Amino acid sequence: MIIGAMKINRRELLKMLGAATFGMALPEKLLHALPKEGEWIPYEEYWSRGICLQCPSGCGLNIRSVNGWPVKLEGNKAFPINQGRLCPKGQAGLQVLYDPDRIQHPLLRKGNRGEGYWDKISWDEAISLVTERLKRLRVASRPHQLLVLGGRYRGHMLELMKRFMETYGSPNHFGNPFRGSEGILKGHFFTMGEKDFLSIHWEETNYVLSFGASLLEASRSAMLNLRGYGALRRGRPGFRGKLVQIEPRFSVTASKADQWIPIQPGTDAALALGIAHWMIKEKLYDQDFVSQYTFGFEDWKDAKGRTHTGFKTLVLREYAPKQVAQITGVPEETVIQLAQEFSAHQPSIAISGRGVGMQTNGTYAQMAIDCLNALVGSIDRRGGLLRQRKPSFQKWPPLFRDSIAEKGLSQPRIDGAGRLPFPFAVEIPFLLPEKIEKGEPYPIDTLFLYYTNPLFSIPESEKFRKALNQVPYIVSFSPFMDETTKFADLILPDGTYFERWQDDLPEPGPGFPVFGLRTPVLPRPIHDVRNTGDVLIQIAKGLGGSIAKSFPWKDMEEALKEVIKGVFRSKRGSIHAEDFEEFWKGLVEAGGWWDKAYPFGEWRKKFNTPSGKFEFYSLMMERGLSELSKKDSKDINSILKALKIDAKGDKAFLPHYENPRLIGDEKDYPLHLIHYKLMTTAEGRGANQPYLQEIFGPHLKENWDSWVEINPETAQTMGIQDGDLIWIESRVGKVKAKARLFAGTHPGCIQIPYGQGHRAYGRWAEGRGINPNDLMVRDYDYLGGFLSYFSTRVKVYKAREGVT
Amino acid sequence: MNRWGMVIDLDRCTGCQACIVACRQENNIPFAGERWAKLGRAKFWMNLIAEVKGHYPNVKMHFIPVPCMHCDRPPCTTVCPVEATYKNPEGIVAQVYPRCIGVRMCVSNCPYTVRYFNWHAPSWPNEYKRGLNPDVYKRRKGITEKCNFCIQRIRKAKEIARKEKRKIRDGDITPACAETCPTEAITFGDLNDPHSRVFRLSKSRRAFRLLEELGTEPKVYYLKEGEWKDG
């Protein structure tokens, strides 16, 4: 692509630059100076494509480079996720690339763990250190003692790591990228058998009932939802859709909504069922959809002739608006109004955020919200919720497992996921501190960290840090010196998202299949860093035998080409090419591939559930628990008890309201801790970017710091004034921060944004503000198998000058 | 003659601040850092004003992105003793950096507080210098700077149009803030062209300008938020 002042082809420029070595050692003439007023200094410019990694949205980038260095990021106009647009995080991306505190080469620990003394070593040394260690572990028949904690995997990097773990022989892979909003997924799973997030057909939605979905701050997908909001408002001439925001916190989304409904935290299921009650009672629901595509709405008889309670019976019996008002604090007439509007303004959708799902009753709450969508038939139709379709990637050839691997894989997972009391859990990293420390069921020998930072992101991180002392060897692949990487023994630094080959599968995307491709924007990374995909392939080769055989590729680029060949062969979508080479060239040039046809109405014909239908009554859950009851010879009710579910019998398989469990009794800890993510840094990965630090909290004009939001009246009763330093204390920890009186705070809650409180992670992030995770007590939704992030009660009191 | 103007639709705006970061990256605006930011010395050619009103649960919050208004009757240019700032023929209120002597009369006379003084020399870590935009002029300590509707982009678009022997078309020029806005809230164009989008939007029934009563005749228009009507 040639747009610059001088005509120069990107490839040619890359070739020219290829002579340069790492770092600043570029040929003098290629560095650019800034002109003085009226001056013009010629430069060479080129544009290339990329994919952002500041959040999981996966937006397409159009990168402007001058004299070889990227200088500005724009959105890729053709890319369906962002269509030329970027959010503030995306715009700040170059501060990731140019971060002065990036890890510049492999490091070997010197001195004690966490002290920060390192020896620079070569890549050959670093890779052989890991390989030799992993070899020894296999020789000792202990491959299961390799633990991999992964976080922001994108595209096939997750598959690559899974493949490595399987052929190596360890069941201990924690690679679930959805940790923070798993409740939503579990709800979808029990009602629709769906394991992914659903897409929203924003273009034609008329009415959005949002149960705490953080649409305008940090949601999945942040960009699609921002764009969707714009479309809802002014996308259709003469039409303006309605957004109802239901949540205790007056968020940005609430402020931009047409109606904000404050609700008692943790009671969303009751409200959703109250709305359902009125719709059913007044026959306001889509009877065609319910009769054709759903199961368990009416009472039903099983094969043995036993009658079971249906959704309708339960909801009519227990969730009249008046009953619901008492639980939720939402007035009876509002419940009725919502029911009427929700059914009258179709296509309407009900969506949710992490504040609903990440509760001890989160799975049922999400099921209830899914049921609202079924009642208006908004599943798999225009203006409704869609199933994210995937590109037809070619599968890698089958991997090889030798007897050592087989033995390792037969070991139970260290966290006990998939067994009581977490029968449906994929993984529970939050249990790791105790498991590792006690060495139960076995000790961990080597830990890999890939794009995850548990010492920042896991509650009670101090316990985790202690547990890490029990792990003999820790290897990190992080590009940045984050809290956990600082604790490693060996660092094999990855580059940033501008410097490597990587595919990117947005989840959720726009419904139709789409994937993005990251290509290196520079001829080589700025520092002596390597794509972890390449490194993993090299380690596999070094391990030899069945493992090496399972990784036949030279590097990640080659491995990716193999999967993408499937997309080429499908002969569909945005790139048409005669041969694969041409297809690949087109893909690099376009920055991704997409196929804008979505087959409306196909998914609803066959849900991935035992009944093949949308399940008001979850046969999925019933089947899972009965299998468990056979295996452990326990009756269903005692299993329900182990899952801390109050409901008995059929009710347990229907969406219903369970009282949320809160930790810390009301007398000692009178306030409920609500934490939230800001548009600027979301969960905190953006804290090392000064542009984002400087605009951190716009609603209170806060920057470079944390604060705690308190309702002004609540504050007054405690003698706390705006700006006072206060202590916030829960059963497991206490932190000190500035109080901000914010009228948008529920009188019974305090609100703390995520993002700050780093104890490492570079000069801009370290040592400012607080991390709400330091207050959080761990409790679980046992049924869904995830952490309940919203169960902590706290007390606050003024900090006295000079007293710690 | 073009007369550049901007329309910001507050019904679409979500206060995400993408415009702010895009502006800073495009125009080589250094971050101030914690110390100076707390003193209010951070430069935001595009700024975001937030307002919170009321008591729980009757709370309101509004966000307004505020670039330079490029007034047709700018109060800032008339007070400059050295004519370092002026309204150019296309209506952009521009700053001539070499001429500025830093008296800051313009800063205090701007009712929109969108002029920024360089209290310090820009201090970038060396690594960030690679990412600077070579189309934007250097500024030194002791002078004033401000939004210029990404004048370098206007210059470039004109260049391209001239090479292609045609007039500038509506949509050819997009300032960094407008280009990135996720909800497409910002529209830029020629207010003299009755066929331009920006002209049409500026005549909307929702359109208003900030502090209109001062008679500054801003060329940045806002569209007020809408309301949902049942039915």
DSSP letters, chain B, are: ---EEEEEETTT-----HHHHHHHHHTT----HHHHHHTT----SSEEEEEEEEETTEEEEEEEEE-----SS-TTGGG-TT--EEE-TTS-EEE-GGG-----HHHHH-TT--EEE--S-----HHHHTT--TTS----TT-EEE--S-HHHHHHHHHHHHHTTSPPPTTS---HHHHH-TT--EEEEETT-TTSHHHHHHTSTTEE-TTGGG----SEEEE--------
B50 vs A contacts (CB less than 8 Å): 698-701
CB–CB contact A341 B98 (8 Å) = no
CB–CB contact B42 A694 (8 Å) = yes
CATH code that applies to domain B4-223: 3.30.70.20
Give the confidence band of A26 by pLDDT, cuts at 50, 70, 90.
Answer: very low
B37 vs A contacts (CB less than 8 Å): 694, 703-704
Strand partners, A323: none
Tokens of residue A656, six digits: 């219903």
- Alpha-carbon distances of B19 from A86, B7, B14, B117, rounded to whole Å: 9, 14, 11, 20
* Same domain, residue pair A246 and A198: yes
CB–CB contact B61 A744 (8 Å) = yes
Its ipTM equals: 0.97
A722, burial (CB in 10 Å: exposed 0-12, middle 13-18, buried 19+) = middle
Q: For A523-540, write each residue's pLDDT tens digit.
A: 999 999 999 999 999 999
Instruction: Report the percentage of chain B scoring pLDDT > 70.
Output: 100
For residue A1, tell me if it sits in a domain.
Answer: no
pLDDT above 50: residue A371: yes
pLDDT above 60: residue A414: yes
* Same domain, residue pair A159 and A258: no
* Same domain, residue pair A281 and A361: yes
Residue type, B92: I
* Same domain, residue pair A556 and A574: yes
pLDDT above 90: residue A802: no
Q: For A171-206, write each residue's pLDDT tens digit.
A: 999 987 777 889 999 999 999 999 999 999 999 999
Q: What's the whole-number average pLDDT of chain A?
A: 94
What span, in angstroms and rounded, lies between the C-alpha atoms of B143 and A36?
Answer: 14
Buried b (16+ CB within 10 A) or exposed e, A309-318: bbbbbbbeeb
CB–CB contact B98 A747 (8 Å) = no
Instruction: Report the percentage of chain A scoring pLDDT > 70.
Output: 95
Residues 6+ away with beta carbon under 8 Å from A673: A728, A730, A749, A750, A752, A772, A775, A776, A790, A792, A793, A794
Q: How far is B61 from chain A (nearest CA, A)?
A: 6
CB–CB contact B56 A745 (8 Å) = yes
Neighbours of A522 (CB within 10 A): 18
What span, in angstroms and rounded, lies between the C-alpha atoms of B122 and A79?
Answer: 35
Predicted model pTM: 0.95
Q: How far is A419 from chain B (nearest CA, A)?
A: 43
Number of domains in chain A: 4
Q: Which of B60, B182, B227 sits opposite A227 (nearest CB)?
A: B182
* Same domain, residue pair A80 and A25: yes
B15 vs A contacts (CB less than 8 Å): 216, 252, 256, 679, 698-699
Residue type, A235: G
* Nearest residue on chain A to B138, alpha-carbon basis: A36
What span, in angstroms and rounded, lies between the C-alpha atoms of A34 and A241?
Answer: 47
Tokens of residue A581, six digits: 């080479």
Q: Which of A43, A87, A711 sits opposite B56 (nearest CB)?
A: A711
Q: How far is B130 from chain A (nearest CA, A)?
A: 6
Give the confidence band of A77 by pLDDT, cuts at 50, 70, 90.
Answer: very high
A-B Cβ pairs (cutoff 8 Å, strict): 208
* Same domain, residue pair A329 and A415: no
* Beta strand pairing call for A307-308 and A348-352: unpaired
Give the confidence band of A661 by pLDDT, cuts at 50, 70, 90.
Answer: very high
CB–CB contact B25 A73 (8 Å) = yes
Report the pLDDT value the prediction gives residue A3, as an integer from 0 to 100.
37
Q: How far is B182 from chain A (nearest CA, A)?
A: 5
**Mean pLDDT calculated for residue range A661-667:** 94
Q: Which of A43, A223, A226 sits opposite B134 (nearest CB)?
A: A43
For residue A803, tell me if it sits in a domain.
Answer: no
The answer to whether A498 and A90 have CB atoms below 8 angstroms apart is: no
pLDDT above 70: residue A419: yes
CB–CB contact B31 A690 (8 Å) = yes
For residue A256, tell me if it sits in a domain.
Answer: yes
- Of A48, A77, A97, the residue at which a domain comes to its end is A97
* Same domain, residue pair A645 and A739: no
Q: How far is B215 from chain A (nearest CA, A)?
A: 29
Q: How far is B101 from chain A (nearest CA, A)?
A: 15
* Same domain, residue pair A278 and A375: yes
Q: For A554-613, write each residue's pLDDT tens digit.
A: 999 999 999 999 999 999 999 999 999 999 999 999 999 999 999 999 999 999 999 999
Q: Which of B22, B37, B97 sits opposite A91 (nearest CB)?
A: B22
pLDDT above 70: residue A433: yes
Report the pLDDT value the prediction gives residue B122, as an integer from 0 to 100.
80
**Mean pLDDT calculated for residue range B193-197:** 97
Q: Which of B175, B221, B143, B156 is nearest to B24 (CA)?
A: B175
The answer to whether A432 and A415 have CB atoms below 8 angstroms apart is: yes
Q: Which of B11, B52, B63 sits opposite A234 (nearest CB)?
A: B11
The answer to whether A354 and A185 have CB atoms below 8 angstroms apart is: no
pLDDT above 90: residue A632: no
CB–CB contact A699 B15 (8 Å) = yes
Residues 6+ away with beta carbon under 8 Å from A292: none
pLDDT above 60: residue A665: yes
Continuous H helices in A84-221: 88-91, 94-97, 123-139, 156-168, 182-192
CB–CB contact A72 B133 (8 Å) = yes
Q: Which of A34, A744, A768 sits opposite B132 (nearest CB)?
A: A34
pLDDT above 70: residue A702: yes
For residue A685, tell me if it sits in a domain.
Answer: yes
Q: How far is CA A211 from the centre of its chain?
A: 18
Tokens of residue A150, six digits: 């992964």
| Most A CBs within 10 Å, among B113, B135, B143, to test the A interface | B135
- What CATH number corresponds to the domain at position A440? 3.40.50.740
What span, in angstroms and rounded, lies between the C-alpha atoms of B18 and B21?
Answer: 5
Strand locations in A579-684, DSSP E? 592-594, 614-615, 671-676
Q: Which of B29, B47, B32 is nearest to B139 (CA)?
A: B29
Residues 6+ away with beta carbon under 8 Å from A64: A45, A47, A70, A71, A72, A73, A74
**Mean pLDDT calculated for residue range A51-55:** 96
Q: For B114-140, write each residue's pLDDT tens digit.
A: 999 999 988 788 899 999 999 999 899
Q: For A329-370, write each residue's pLDDT tens digit.
A: 999 999 999 999 999 999 999 999 999 999 999 999 999 999
Report the pLDDT value the prediction gives residue A683, as an integer from 0 to 100.
80
* Beta strand pairing call for A173-174 and A146-150: parallel
pLDDT above 70: residue A23: no
* Nearest residue on chain A to B46, alpha-carbon basis: A695
CB–CB contact B42 A33 (8 Å) = no
Q: How far is CA A487 from the centre of its chain?
A: 24
CB–CB contact B126 A100 (8 Å) = yes
* Nearest residue on chain B to A330, alpha-carbon basis: B57
Continuous H helices in A346-442: 354-357, 362-375, 403-409, 432-438
* Nearest residue on chain A to B157, alpha-carbon basis: A3
Report the pLDDT value the prediction gives residue A103, as an integer from 0 to 100.
98
Tokens of residue A639, six digits: 């299993």
A768 vs B contacts (CB less than 8 Å): 34
Report the pLDDT value the prediction gives residue B113, as an integer from 0 to 100.
97
For residue A413, tell me if it sits in a domain.
Answer: yes
pLDDT above 80: residue A24: no
The answer to whether B222 and B207 have CB atoms below 8 angstroms apart is: yes
Residues 6+ away with beta carbon under 8 Å from A165: A146, A148, A171, A172, A173
Q: How far is A550 from chain B (nearest CA, A)?
A: 40
Report the pLDDT value the prediction gives residue A8, as an integer from 0 to 100.
47
Higher pLDDT, A10 or A116: A116
Q: How far is CA A47 from the centre of its chain?
A: 30
The answer to whether A362 and A356 have CB atoms below 8 angstroms apart is: yes
* Same domain, residue pair A612 and A736: no
* Same domain, residue pair A431 and A571: yes
Q: How far is A154 from chain B (nearest CA, A)?
A: 23
Q: Which of A35, A98, A226 sits opposite B16 (nearest CB)?
A: A226
Report the pLDDT value the prediction gives residue B124, as an integer from 0 to 100.
82
Q: Which domain holds residue A31?
A: 10-97
**Mean pLDDT calculated for residue range A96-117:** 96
A35 vs B contacts (CB less than 8 Å): 134, 137-138
**Mean pLDDT calculated for residue range A540-552:** 98
Backbone phi, then psi, for A737, in 5-degree steps? -155, 175
Q: Which of A529, A553, A525 is nearest to A541 (CA)?
A: A553
Tokens of residue A429, six digits: 């990293």
Helix, strand or coil, per DSSP, at residue A295: strand
What span, in angstroms and rounded, lies between the C-alpha atoms of A433 and A708?
Answer: 28
CB–CB contact A100 B125 (8 Å) = yes
| Most B CBs within 10 Å, among A695, A701, A711, to test the B interface | A695
Give the confidence band of A5 by pLDDT, cuts at 50, 70, 90.
Answer: very low
End-to-end CA distance of chain B: 45
**Mean pLDDT calculated for residue range A16-30:** 41
* Same domain, residue pair A289 and A323: yes
What span, in angstroms and rounded, lies between the C-alpha atoms of A334 and A261?
Answer: 9
End-to-end CA distance of chain A: 59
* Same domain, residue pair A219 and A300: yes
Q: For B168-178, write each residue's pLDDT tens digit.
A: 999 999 999 99
Residues 6+ away with beta carbon under 8 Å from A426: A176, A182, A417, A418, A785
CB–CB contact B21 A701 (8 Å) = no
Report the pLDDT value the prediction gives residue A179, as an integer from 0 to 100.
75
The answer to whether A747 and A248 have CB atoms below 8 angstroms apart is: no
Residue type, A297: F
For residue A804, tell me if it sits in a domain.
Answer: no
Sequence ranges of the domains in chain B: 4-223
A744, burial (CB in 10 Å: exposed 0-12, middle 13-18, buried 19+) = buried
- Alpha-carbon distances of A775 from A673, A793, B231, rounded to whole Å: 9, 9, 47
